[in-house]
């Protein structure tokens, strides 16, 4: 394997991982990117519709085109990508145990690691949706997209899409490729979670959207035969052969466990430079929290990759004097969760999620009983990103626990 002894290993060849690899290579650092799938590119690889990478490339491209662009930007002299390679463990050191189809078991000891393992959707079971478990036809978006991209027959005609997030509407496009007619959308919230326009377009296309509605039953033994929805008007049974559970993303963060993970995000605890609890291990992209766009994830990867390069030049004490930034009243979570003193690295944008809808919303950053920063927002929506200007942390004293709260 080329560059087995690369100073930095990036785990995951999606938008964040590839951007991190590019930033490292641009900084003159050799990188090994390990990807467990058969090809690099991450989830955008399976999303044919346009809109990927905008925040990073300022281009309006399909997922595969964005993935190709990111790959083409890598200097092969500095970046090696090993596909069909799984990371079995990541321990202090950092030390990695890899399993590679090509090379078997490998134990690596790079100087730094960038964790960029992305997200997945919560499946039907984790959502406690009752009913039968037909062998075929109960899907997540990810599975449907992969089936279409890999040419695996979907063998369905009529689909129900569960969820009203952005990704739920992207399923309408994928469904068309799969020859599926979407007969209804349903979501537990009382409004369309994506842009209102998406809902209007879907309805204009004749797709009813059932809000405040849950899946009450799934019928069928081999194939899905029908789904029963429960909404404000009671239950109704819809004959269909496919049900796609969309959205409800969670970080795919299996290499970090226990105290190294923020229970609120499900991703690793990091400071504003992307440093995790484990010295030498950085994290970037949607593994930090679900879910941002591919362009946002790539931007995080670029910054954290550059930070990892800087860390190799000057491996200062890891996260010394970093203070916890807590999620206070009204705040579901904050990323990054730690604030460290300035050290010349590039800071990630601070973002948080409100735990309920607020209009207007006043956000405070408090420490030691005093307010260090305040922002007035026209509104905050539950679990929608609230971006906080980078200067929110500017005057915060290093090493002092602080808390974001809404009033």
Partner 1 sequence: MTDAYDIAVVGAGVVGCAIAREFSRYELRTILIEARSDLGDGASKGNSAILSTGADTPSGTLECRLVTRGHARYLAEAPALGLPFLATGSLTVVWNEEELVRLRAMHDEMHAAGFRTGELVGPDFIRAKAPHLAPGAVGAIWEPEEGIVDPFSTPYAYALDAVTNGVAYRASAPVASATRHGGGWILDTPQGAISADIVINCAGLWADRVEALAGYADFVGRPRRGQFLVYDKSARPLLDTIVKPVPSPTYRGILIAPTVFGNILVGPTAEEIDDPDDWRTTREGLATLEAAAHRLIPALARHEITATYCGVRPGTDRPEYRIIPRPDANWVTVGGIRSTGLSGALGIAEHVAGLVLPEMKRAARKARAVPVRVPSLCAADARPWQAMMPADRAMHEIVCHCEGVTLGEIRAAMASPLPPRSLKALKRRTRAMFGRCQGFHCAARVQAIFDGAAG
Binding residues (CB under 8 A) for partner 1: these are 36-37, 84, 86, 88, 99-105, 120-126, 128, 130-133, 135-136, 139-140, 142-143, 146-147, 149-153, 216-217, 221-222, 250, 252, 254, 257, 263
The tokens 């226990």 sit on which residue? 258
Alpha carbon separation from 349 to 86, 298, 317, 318 (Å, rounded): 30, 13, 23, 20
CB of 402 to partner 1, least distance (A): 24
172: exposed, middle or buried (C-beta count within 10 Å: 0-12, 13-18, 19+)? Answer: buried
CB of 150 to partner 1, least distance (A): 5
Q: Give the SS3 label for residue 357.
A: coil
Contact 46, 77 (CB under 8 A): no
Contact 85, 254 (CB under 8 A): no
CB of 184 to partner 1, least distance (A): 20
CB of 396 to partner 1, least distance (A): 29
Q: What is the secondary structure of 219-244 as a DSSP string?
A: E-SSB--EEEEEETTEEEEEE-SEEE
* Among 277, 254, 308, residue whose Cα is nearest residue 118: 254
Residue 257 or 359: which CB sits closer to partner 1? 257
Residue 142 or 267: which CB sits closer to partner 1? 142
CB of 233 to partner 1, least distance (A): 18
Contact 99, 88 (CB under 8 A): yes
Contact 25, 103 (CB under 8 A): no
CB of 206 to partner 1, least distance (A): 28
CA 215 – CA 208 distance, rounded (Å): 15
Residue 216 or 355: which CB sits closer to partner 1? 216
């Amino acid at each position: 394997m080329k560059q087995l002894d690369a100073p930095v290993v990036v785990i995951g060849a999606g938008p964040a991982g590839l951007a991190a690899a590019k930033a490292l290579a641009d900084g003159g650092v050799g990188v090994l990117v390990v990807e467990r799938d058969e090809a690099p590119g991450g989830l955008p690889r399976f999303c044919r519709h346009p809109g990927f990478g905008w925040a990073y490339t300022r281009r309006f491209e399909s997922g595969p085109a964005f993935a190709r662009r990111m790959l083409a930007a890598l200097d092969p002299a500095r970046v090696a990508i090993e596909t069909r390679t799984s990371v079995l463990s990541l321990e202090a050191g950092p030390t990695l145990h890899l399993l590679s189809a090509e090379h078997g078991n490998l134990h690596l000891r790079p100087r730094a690691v960038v964790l960029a393992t992305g997200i997945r959707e919560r499946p039907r079971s984790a959502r406690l949706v009752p009913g039968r478990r037909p062998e075929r036809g109960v899907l997540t978006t990810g599975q449907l997209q992969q089936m279409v991209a890999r040419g695996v027959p979907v063998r369905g005609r009529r689909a129900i899409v569960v969820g009203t997030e952005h990704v739920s509407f992207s399923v309408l496009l994928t469904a068309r490729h799969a020859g599926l007619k979407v007969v209804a959308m349903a979501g537990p919230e009382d409004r369309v979670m994506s842009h209102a326009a998406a809902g209007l377009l879907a309805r204009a296309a004749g797709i009813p959207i059932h809000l405040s509605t849950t899946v009450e039953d799934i019928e069928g033994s081999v194939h899905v035969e029908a789904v029963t929805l429960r909404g404000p008007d009671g239950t109704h049974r819809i004959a269909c052969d496919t049900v796609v559970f969309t959205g409800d993303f969670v970080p795919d963060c299996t290499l970090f466990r226990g105290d190294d993970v923020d229970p609120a995000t499900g991703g690793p605890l990091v400071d504003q430079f992307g440093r995790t609890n484990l010295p030498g291990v950085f994290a970037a992209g949607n593994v930090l929290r679900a879910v941002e766009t591919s362009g946002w994830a790539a931007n995080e990867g670029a910054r954290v990759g550059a930070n990892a390069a800087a860390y190799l030049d000057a491996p200062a004490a890891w996260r010394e004097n970093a203070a916890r930034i807590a999620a206070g009243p009204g705040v579901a979570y904050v990323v990054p969760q730690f604030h460290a003193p300035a050290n010349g690295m590039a800071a990630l944008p601070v973002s948080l999620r409100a735990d309920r809808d607020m209009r207007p919303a006043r956000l405070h950053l408090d420490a030691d009983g005093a307010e260090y920063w305040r922002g007035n927002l026209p509104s905050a929506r539950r679990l929608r990103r609230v971006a906080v200007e980078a200067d929110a942390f500017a005057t915060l004293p290093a090493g002092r626990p602080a808390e974001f709260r809404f009033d």
